A and B are shown apart, each in its own frame.
Chain A
Amino acid sequence: MIGNPNVGKSVIFNNLIPGARQHVGNWPGKTVEKKEGKCIHKGIELKIVDLPGTYSLTSRAVDELISRNYIIEEKPEVIVDIVDASNIERNLYLTLLLLELEANLVIALNMFDIAENKGYKIDVKKLSEQLSVPIVPTVATTKEGMEELKDEIIKAAIRKGSIKTKITYGEKIEDLINSIVKIIKKDETLAKNYPLRWMAIKLLEKDEEILEKIRNSKYHHELMEVIS
């Protein structure tokens, strides 16, 4: 479970998992709090981990690193992205980053009531089609949409990976991404550990952690040619 700060993520977490069944600890070696727990929905056990609330997924802040490394390394079956419907524009930024990471997403469009009060009319179906991601409108404080959310989580886990979202940016940047992907593909160890397109984007952004990963690659020089 991931989302920007103040989107009602922990309220949804508490709704899904009763307090007594939550396990609170720290992320290994970090002082950032880690909450996880299990619940059963329609006979299926869901194990849910609450990732730190972040606006983006750079390697510059501890909590952002924790979130993204968890997604890359632990490969959770489904990522539930909690989006504040009343601030949808800014919240979708993280959604795009998660799609870049090729996460198997389900969006909880939370604070739907506040968005409506604000006068927002969101075409949920169309939004879901454009992103190729299932979207459940929710109001965490009144527990609206919780059952539907659990349904969608299970559905997403079952069809895992069969729907590929293709988001593309401008032509120039896509050309650059493709040429970097071609070089990374040549290095087998790199290619098998990370989503290629994501890695290319992070290299363009000069993400320190990813730069470190390619340091020992045979193709380091070739990659640096493009990105520097």
Chain B
Amino acid sequence: MKAREVLGDDPEIVLADERYNLIHTILDTTLVRGAKKWAQSDMLDKVFLHKYLGIPVFLTLAWAMFQFAFDVSAPFMKMIGLFFGLLAEASRGIPNEVLASFLSDGIFGGLGFILTFIPLIFSLFFAIAILEDSGYLARAAFIMDKFMFKLGLHGRSFIPMLLGFGCNVPAMMATRSIESEKDRLITLLINPFISCSARLPVYILIAGAFFGSMASTAIWSMYFLGIVLAILLALLLRKTVLRGEPTPFIMELPLYKTPTFHGSVIHMWDRGVQFLKKAGTYLLVGAIILWFLSSFPWGVAQESVELSYTGQIGHALEPIFRPLGFDWRIVSSLIFGFMAKEIVVESLGIIYAVEGEAAIAGALVVDYTPLIGFALMAFILLYIPCLATVGTMRKESGSWKWTIFQVVLSLVLAYLIGLTITGIGGMLGYT
């Protein structure tokens, strides 16, 4: 007996038909389809999935989501910052100097700094939960699919990319809704190139120092550069290591529902707690390592950052970064930046022994040219966003291999783009 010959078709298809036949037979006697009364969902879709209105409506909702998240979280972020500031201040009084430094700089200063982002992460998750529970998020993915497919991505990759502008951590966690492993991995790998809100203060400082009235254009160009590189990288990964077509978009559009406060809070809590758990493990270890590098050898490191391990590493790496115009000061501050990007500003302040953004900006203008400043901005955009994203990558990809791949990729890319900027600038006669 040969299955195909007997059935006259692929057995898999025949079986699927048989199942539906049986379902129809059963439903013929158990289901009466009355007149359709319920059309609210279809009416909403007339607007939300409208050919021309769909995208503007989506962008408006996305803007509202960010506005909500930033506004709600800002006071809480300030409170957490103050709280850890007080703890750090208090622990400086501990008689044992090493312990005092460990607690104030390493734990409360370092880890505490990352924890200030928790309100932002939670409120972004809350906003997403509301959009998801209402049934709108599935529509947003649907609207963007055509565009994303051209980039070798999936409609569902759009939300994580968008969230990346707020914070890459929740953005990477949001990739879970992408079913295909390859699609998901690509979305994870390119996400850190989307400029998160933590990079903005660094851009503002550097652009403000070097570009005067052109500062906003310089900042805008960083966002643009990040998006373009993310897109190019997605296309490249599709053609190389993660070969294949994006999975076709088959997605059920659920009925619109009024989200419940309780349900959205549960959603937010489930995801937020995962970040907190990570903060307790990966991030704590990372914070301790960075503290160690910047506080030892004990004694000399306290006299001058230049003599700390971080300063020594900065000096050792300086030759590699010389083509980009970076000296040991910048390299050291970039090492501190592993913790979180804003720390670059803070550590430049420490290295130059000046306080306040204006003073840091002033010091930068003396030592570097606008071209180097621009290369530095690009480098900061592209190299590993922060320890938290590395931890998230490990957790979400489930593999150290891809985590390391991303770290190396971002460093190489940052270097090459930095080099291109100084190279082209040099040819145009800038220094």
User: Which A residues fall within an 8 A CB radius of B?
Assistant: 4-6, 11, 14, 19, 24, 26, 29-31, 33, 61-63, 86, 88-89, 92-93, 96-97, 114, 117-123, 126-127, 130-131, 141, 167, 169-170, 172-173, 175-176, 179, 201, 204-206, 225-228
A126:B2 contact, CB within 8 angstroms: no
Q: Which of B15-46 contact A (CB under 8 A)?
A: 15, 18-24, 26-27, 29-38
**Residues of B with C-beta under 8 A to A126:** 29-30
A226:B1 contact, CB within 8 angstroms: yes
**A227 and B252 alpha carbons, distance in the complex (Å):** 33
Shortest CB distance B172–A (Å)? 11
**Residues of A with C-beta under 8 A to B396:** 31
> What are 30 inter-chain pairs, A to B, with CB distance below 8 A?
A6-B252, A14-B263, A19-B266, A24-B270, A24-B274, A26-B398, A29-B398, A31-B181, A61-B179, A63-B179, A88-B27, A89-B27, A93-B20, A96-B22, A96-B23, A118-B34, A118-B36, A119-B34, A119-B38, A130-B26, A167-B22, A170-B18, A173-B15, A175-B6, A176-B1, A176-B7, A204-B3, A206-B12, A225-B2, A226-B3
A227:B266 contact, CB within 8 angstroms: no
Shortest CB distance B177–A (Å)? 10
- Stretch from B116-124, B254-262, B332-340 at the A interface: B254-262
With contact pairs A123-B30, A130-B29, A226-B2 given, residues A169 and B12 touching in the complex (Cβ less than 8 Å)? no
B11:A205 contact, CB within 8 angstroms: yes
A119:B1 contact, CB within 8 angstroms: no
From the candidates B2, B14, B255, B398, name the one contacting A228 in the complex (CB within 8 A).
B2
Give the 5 A-B CB pairs with smallest separation, nearest first: A119-B34, A169-B18, A6-B254, A204-B11, A121-B32
**A66 and B184 alpha carbons, distance in the complex (Å):** 18
B31:A121 contact, CB within 8 angstroms: yes
From the candidates A4, A31, A96, name the one contacting B398 in the complex (CB within 8 A).
A31
B11:A176 contact, CB within 8 angstroms: yes
B31:A88 contact, CB within 8 angstroms: yes
From the candidates A96, A131, A175, name the one contacting B19 in the complex (CB within 8 A).
A96
Question: Does B134 count as interface, using CB distance less than 8 angstroms?
Answer: no
Task: Bin the interface of chain B by size.
Answer: 35 or more
**A102 and B334 alpha carbons, distance in the complex (Å):** 59
With contact pairs A5-B252, A31-B176 given, residues A119 and B33 touching in the complex (Cβ less than 8 Å)? yes
Shortest CB distance A146–B (Å)? 15
**Residues of A with C-beta under 8 A to B22:** 96, 167, 169
**Residues of A with C-beta under 8 A to B397:** 31
B398:A30 contact, CB within 8 angstroms: yes
From the candidates A93, A114, A205, A228, name the one contacting B38 in the complex (CB within 8 A).
A114
Shortest CB distance A160–B (Å)? 24
Fill in one digit per residue for B221-255: 1 if any A CB lies within 8 Å of its CB, else 0.
Answer: 00000000000000000000000000000001011
A92:B23 contact, CB within 8 angstroms: yes
Question: Does B269 count as interface, using CB distance less than 8 angstroms?
Answer: yes
Known: A119-B34, A206-B12. 12 other contacts (CB 8 A): A5-B252, A6-B254, A31-B397, A88-B27, A96-B22, A117-B37, A117-B38, A169-B15, A169-B22, A176-B11, A201-B15, A225-B1
In the complex, residue of chain B having the shortest beta-carbon distance to the beta carbon of A124: B30
